[in-house]
Amino acid sequence: MKALIESSLYHPSLVLPLAALTQLMVERDFNLGQVGLIVAARGAQAAVSRSRALIFCRHCEAQA
């Protein structure tokens, strides 16, 4: 169990988002309300960007 925790603790897919969240919380003085809104807004922005990319990709393929 200890080896599993140690191996997952240093995994980049876990460490990098935690570092980004920690930096964001420090910038916002640990205000969870602001941090929550920022994370939600970034998630929505990523979802819209991804959906636009998929829509335009399908549109380009239909014309080809």
Question: Cα torsion for 48, 45, 14, 54, to the nearest 10°?
Answer: 20
pTM for the predicted model, two decimal places = 0.68
Other Cβ atoms closer than 10 A to 25 = 15
Task: Compute CA 41 distance to the chain's CA centroid, rounded to the nearest angstrom.
Answer: 11
Say whether pLDDT at 28 is over 80: yes
Say whether pLDDT at 50 is over 80: yes
Residue 47 confidence (pLDDT): 96
| Mean of pLDDT over the chain | 87
How many structural domains comprise the chain?
A: 1
Say whether pLDDT at 15 is over 80: yes
Residue 61 confidence (pLDDT): 64
Task: Compute CA 3 distance to the chain's CA centroid, rounded to the nearest angstrom.
Answer: 27
CB-based contact 24:38 (threshold 8 Å): yes
Tokens standing for 8? Answer: 């997952």
Q: Which domain holds residue 18?
A: 2-63
Phi–psi pair at 30, nearest 5 degrees: 60, 30
